[in-house]
Amino acid sequence: MKSALADLDLTATFDEYGSPVNLISPDAMNPNVEELRAIARTREVDLQIFFARKANKCLAFVDAANRLGIGVDTASEIEVQQTLDRGTPATHCICTAAVKSKSLVGRCVDESICLAIDNHDELERVRSVAAEMGKQAIVALRLSGFKHADQTLYSRFGFDCERDVAVIQALDPSWAHVAGIHFHLDGYDPHQRVSAIDSSLDWIEKLRQAGHLPAFIDMGGGLPVCYLESENQWTEFWKAHAESLLHHRGEITFQRHKLGRQVVDGRVVGSPASYPYFQSQTRSSWLATVLDAPIGGSTVAQRLNRERLQLRCEPGRSLLDGCGMTIARVEYRKRDTQGRWLIGLSMNRTQCRTTSDDFLVDPILVPASAEQFESIEGYLVGAYCMESELLSWRRFRFPCGVRVGDAVVFPNTAGYLMHFLESRSHQFPLASNLVMPTDPADCLRRDDIDQAIVI
């Protein structure tokens, strides 16, 4: 990302493509995939990776998945169509949509794409559609309600692994090929995944006893990413934030925004409403922890091998680590009625946001010239006509000042931050998505998603 910025004329880029722009590097996905494959390979585990398409809409990442021989996890009928149009074979697709229309189910049954089945009504829809089409549906049963450390792990997705065992009897090979077990867990605790795999193995046995031939366990996504260089950066920020909330120092978030925490009886309590931007374990070490965990007298890896099961996963953020950034132009600087500096950018807050309260990675200022100005501290604000239109709640220091025409770079935004919540309120155009060339001598190009017509 740093080398790309050094070679890029951002003023010319804004003139041609507008602001903001999403700059993506599909080639950066390669080492992320290889990290996971290497962990599985040393344990002789059959690992199939599916790129979670919902994490970024750019079609260049689907092309990268095809080149790397990994699959694509789709969450809508349009994602299914676009993925097939890029040449992804149906055997390398799975549909995990939270809500599956009859049209989507029909498309997947017709194309022999595996459907992760979430509930009884969905299962009945698949049965009905398969009967109408005279075809066998390929399905994976999505499970939830796993026991871990004497507690039931919550998920709104899936059949309860204890309450809904009778669903196995509703599966008839005449219309359903049960290809495997699927689950989704929130959070990044590898030991919770081990508990879920253990319960899934019990279901594999039950399905085989009922005459089905499940061949995989799919543990979904949620492989951790670390955005920061050191844990100290993370802990010191939250320490300073707590001091600010208690008025022991000046505000470091706009109007002392709590970022999910609360002040009760002179103490800061609660957990941040934020992604954990520092994590000591990331994708490869995390996967190793899962595969090496003890289970039933052996390890997870050994059990999978003994049961002749493929392990599947559907990472989004962790495959897109280092694969892109969002860049916006500075349009103004001003002081608000309480004297704070506000730096206005040509973008809105939905263009670099997930469901977290904030993106807690420092942006990078790229000056339009070498001229230096007075140091200021202030807040980045966006283009929506709301008092709360802050691009980040945090206060930033600009040691050499900031001026109109400078660029602000939000690093490592390819995973969910670019597209998950983006909107066109006020009829602003969506950000242009630009693909960095493999050969530096080549030019930037628009990703094909920018030309896609969605009806």
pLDDT at 455 over 80: no
Position 439 scores a pLDDT of 81
pLDDT per position as a tens digit, 66-76? 999 999 999 99
pLDDT at 346 over 90: yes
Arithmetic mean of pLDDT over the chain: 96
The residue type found at 190 is: P
Strand pairing of 267-269 and 262-264? antiparallel
Classify 52 as helix, strand or coil. strand
Interval 45-53 mean pLDDT: 99
pLDDT at 299 over 70: yes
What's domain 2-24+322-450's architecture?
Beta Barrel (2.40)
pLDDT at 19 over 70: yes
pLDDT at 453 over 90: no
What is the end-to-end Cα distance of the chain in Å, rounded?
Answer: 34
Note whether 164 and 125 are within 8 A (CB). Answer: no
Helix and strand numbers, DSSP H then E, in the chain:
11, 24
Position 234 scores a pLDDT of 97
Strand residues in 127-188 grouped as ranges (E)? 137-144, 147-148, 151-152, 159-160, 176-183
Strand pairing of 341-345 and 324-335? antiparallel
- C-alpha span between 9 and 22 (Å, rounded): 15
Global confidence as pTM = 0.96
The share of the chain scoring above pLDDT 70, in percent, equals 99
Q: What are phi and psi of 139, to 5 degrees?
A: -130, 155
- C-alpha span between 277 and 361 (Å, rounded): 8
* CATH code linked to domain 27-224+278-313: 3.20.20.10
pLDDT at 377 over 90: yes
Structure tokens at 207: 């399905």
Label residue 441 by pLDDT band (50, 70, 90).
confident
CA atoms 335, 339, 343, 344: torsion sign: negative
Classify 306 as helix, strand or coil. helix
Interval 341-352 mean pLDDT: 96
Q: 222 in the Ramachandran plot: left (φ > 0), alpha (ψ -120 to 50) or beta?
A: left
In 3D, which of 255, 381, 246 has the Cα closest to residue 238? 246
Note whether 447 and 58 are within 8 A (CB). Answer: yes
Where do the structural domains in the chain lie, given as residue ranges? 2-24+322-450, 27-224+278-313, 231-269
- C-alpha span between 354 and 10 (Å, rounded): 25
pLDDT at 415 over 80: yes
pLDDT per position as a tens digit, 233-284? 999 999 999 999 999 999 999 999 999 999 999 999 999 999 999 999 999 9
pLDDT per position as a tens digit, 198-247? 999 999 999 999 999 999 999 999 999 999 999 999 999 999 999 999 99
Note whether 300 and 290 are within 8 A (CB). Answer: yes
CA atoms 228, 322, 390, 335: torsion sign: positive
pLDDT per position as a tens digit, 151-181? 999 999 999 999 999 999 999 999 999 999 9
